[in-house]
Structure 1
Amino acid sequence: MTGSGFDPAVFEDSAIDEETRAINARIDKVFENAPPIDTVPPQVMRDARARGEGVFAARPKTERAVVRDIEGPGGPVGLRIVAPAAPRGVYLHFHGGGWVNGANDQNDPLLLHFADRLGLAVVSVNYRLAPENPYPAAPDDCEAAARWLVANARSEFGTDWLAIGGESAGAHLAAVTLLRMRDRHGYNGFEAANLVFGVFDMALTPSVRNWGPRRLVLNTHSIAWFRDVFAPDPATWASPDVSPIQGDLRGLPPALFTCGTLDPLLDDTLFMHARWMAAGNHAQIELFPGGAHGFSSFGGPLAKRFTARVDRFLEERLG
């Protein structure tokens, strides 16, 4: 399942290990009587996630993090930085949460892992959230953070080696930021893109449309709702700035695409990986049997394999 392809056996039910089945059963139980997502006020949703309620446990915060603001198009953009003493490179990180949820102080174990295991300084971005701040607020903030990093990586961290990545909506924002940096600023110096169970097509891919009501973290209704509050004007959905899969993908960095086979967003990963390669870029894909959306946060064997796979990809690029 490495390199540019994968074994079709990854989609077989027999490929799913028992611990992953148990994790998915617990997720089903959490959402069994949960209210529809569009009936929960966004701030209530955010507060619950910050407390670690639901399927995403609260993660410990590190005292090593440095918090600073940079100038952004809509006001200050917050950065959370975790860095080793002598960074080998810098990883620009965008958190997930459907452009509505999450924050850059909810991923410190990930930031610490990249810093301590790979020697990367990690800069995680607190972009503006929908529905209070719909498109283009979040991409604008992520673009501002990327521009700041390109201009200041050498002076701030002693290195010009840059990678970019994120999870779910964060992977979407990473792809959009790469296109903006190339097209608006003539910059194509990112050395790696780590695109984790991302959403790349606002028209909704077949796996999203055909998923149905089962809310294994996400379902067809919740994905459409997240899309609608982020980009409420359907006229924007075909734009590469909203659906990066629609863009000219030439000249983008080597990318690793990862996704679970029980993620409604599976086709987004499959299709974007294919388009990335068709544009002449290096691309790798890894699919994880039975993985739900967000599986890398739920522990178990899939999460361990995922971490090792991302580490290997970034180590290869650090070279």
Structure 2
Amino acid sequence: MMDDVDPHIRRFHHQVNADYARLSAGGYADISARRAVAEEVRAPWTAGGPVMAKTEELIVGAGKLRVRIHRPNADPVLPVLLYIHGGGWMLFSIDTHDRLMREYAARVGCAVIGVDYSLSPEVRFPHALDEIVDVVGWVRSDGAAHGLDPERVAIGGDSAGANLSLATALRLRDAGEPPLNALLLNYGAFDTEIRDSHSRYDGDAYNLTASEMVDFWDAYLGPDGDRQSPYARPMLAKLHNLPPAFLCIAACDILADENRAMSAKLRDAGVEVRMTVYAGAIHSFLESMNISDMANTAIADGADWLKRHLKSGASAAD
């Protein structure tokens, strides 16, 4: 197994698995213990990277949500990327994804806002989605007071974060709000339907298993959740009049086929799409940026897309 995986990404995967095995040998007492282990495992991979001109945390919006704002340079007004971390709606945080957010900030030349949304199963759909829509509203109403350009706002995320990003764009469209400037969709979870890649890349060798994905959906939606809602399962949505979308697809990922299907459906709806499939990449491979050229290439590709649609200059990354 894993002969088809890039060797540097394989090294990342093996180290992450070894750390999980070491730290969770006695099992998890509860979800808080599982999250603590997940944070510790990911901590070494967030080290290093671009130094920001300013980083601050604020409590914003009607929901009083914590956000972390990275500013890569001293420009008084910056375009914005809201970054929504992955983790199956259950795990991870703005800490586990801090390095990735700083990379996008530096490479795009924009402010990146990490959203500390509420996790499942303590809350269910659409609670986290409501929180993220609220943060978009805060950026548009109050962002200018913090040096954020309310007219140049993109949203993106990985895995569950890509789901929430696309669902946010759908909610804004259906509410008659102005569209965002761009979508950054990194190996998103867009549907509960089983596709060929679920069996082809199932198993621990490829980082995300089909059974884990079932557990994540169950935690997010709950026993009485609306599994036909297009805001929960964006594959069911009508996708017209959405922002331009970049889809980063890990070829060796159980979610690969649904991401290809989402790309095709967006194009069919008239949305501007760029889809790039990274051969030898597994789920969460962007987090291997410390050692993987492929991860860095994928981050750069997404950053170039955002830069074009936000019309920003990445002076901090040059």
Q: TM-score range by the shorter chain?
A: 0.7 to 0.9
The question of 1:81 aligning with 2:69 is answered: yes
The question of 1:221 aligning with 2:211 is answered: yes
Amino acid aligned to 1:317: H
Q: Distance in 1 between matches of 2:101 and 2:205?
A: 28
Amino acid aligned to 2:67: L
TM-score with structure 2 setting the length: 0.84
Q: Distance in 2 between matches of 1:59 and 1:187?
A: 35
Amino acid aligned to 2:158: E
CA pair 31-311 structure 1, distance change in 2 beyond 3 A: same
Q: 2:251 aligns with which of 242, 261, 268?
A: 261
Match in the other structure for 2:169: 178
Match in the other structure for 2:316: none
What's the secondary structure of 1:315's corresponding residue?
helix
Amino acid aligned to 1:108: D
Q: 2:58 aligns with which of 68, 79, 103?
A: 68
The answer to whether the 8 A contact 1:254-1:283 is kept is yes
Amino acid aligned to 2:167: V
Q: Distance in 2 between matches of 1:203 and 1:39?
A: 29
Match in the other structure for 1:59: 46
Amino acid aligned to 1:250: H
Amino acid aligned to 1:76: K
CA pair 27-66 structure 1, distance change in 2 beyond 3 A: closer
What's the secondary structure of 2:252's corresponding residue?
coil
Q: Distance in 1 between matches of 2:281 and 2:213?
A: 17
CA pair 124-226 structure 1, distance change in 2 beyond 3 A: same
Q: Distance in 1 between matches of 2:188 and 2:208?
A: 13
CA pair 195-96 structure 1, distance change in 2 beyond 3 A: same
Match in the other structure for 1:104: 94
Q: Distance in 2 between matches of 1:291 and 1:34?
A: 25
The answer to whether the 8 A contact 1:91-1:162 is kept is yes
CA pair 91-288 structure 1, distance change in 2 beyond 3 A: same
Deviation at 1:201, TM superposition (A): 0.6
Match in the other structure for 1:305: 297
TM-score with structure 1 setting the length: 0.84
Match in the other structure for 2:236: 246
Provide the identity percentage: 26
What's the secondary structure of 2:189's corresponding residue?
coil
Deviation at 1:49, TM superposition (A): 2.1
Q: Distance in 1 between matches of 2:139 and 2:266?
A: 24
The question of 1:296 aligning with 2:264 is answered: no
Deviates more, 1:283-292 or 1:229-238: 229-238
Q: Distance in 1 between matches of 2:57 and 2:22?
A: 38
Deviates more, 1:116-125 or 1:94-103: 116-125
What's the secondary structure of 2:206's corresponding residue?
coil
Amino acid aligned to 1:208: H
Match in the other structure for 2:264: 274
The answer to whether the 8 A contact 1:254-1:282 is kept is yes
Deviation at 1:271, TM superposition (A): 1.0
Deviation at 1:307, TM superposition (A): 1.8
CA pair 138-290 structure 1, distance change in 2 beyond 3 A: same
Match in the other structure for 1:7: none
The question of 1:48 aligning with 2:37 is answered: yes
CA pair 209-231 structure 1, distance change in 2 beyond 3 A: farther
Q: Distance in 2 between matches of 1:56 and 1:288?
A: 25
Deviation at 1:106, TM superposition (A): 2.8
Over the aligned positions, Cα root-mean-square deviation in angstroms equals 2.8
Deviates more, 1:163-172 or 1:26-35: 26-35
Q: Distance in 1 between matches of 2:213 and 2:279?
A: 21
Match in the other structure for 1:3: none
